Every structure is written in C-alpha cells, then in structure tokens.
Amino acid sequence: MLAAWASLVIPLVIGLLFTGAGTAATLQARFAATDLAPARHRGRASATVV
C-alpha cells in the first residue's frame, strides 16, 4: 500500500505478483487436498488446508 501512495509502480507490481502467487498456491493446495482425499473426508481435508 505504501508503494501506491508514493507512486512507485515497480514495487507495487512486485507486491501484487507476490500476493497473486500466494493466493494461487493456497487455492492449488486446497484443490489438491480435496482431490486426493476420499469422498467422505473431503470436507475435513479442505478445512485442514484452510
């Protein structure tokens, strides 16, 4: 947020890249947990990742 206030474009873009990469990793881990778990344990596996 500091980069946006100071009009520093490069740090802002780098920060947004890291935020997007973290979100993508979290969503991928959640999908993998529910995909690999048996049908009766999918809710619990998803909750464990979250």
Look up residue 47 and give its amino acid. Answer: A
Decide which of 35 and 20 is more confident.
Answer: 20
Which residue do the tokens 């997007």 mark?
20
* 21-40 pLDDT tens trace: 999 999 999 899 888 888 88
What confidence tier does 1 reach under pLDDT thresholds 50, 70, 90? low
Tokens of 46: 């998803």
Give the global pTM: 0.67
Indicate the DSSP class of residue 9: H
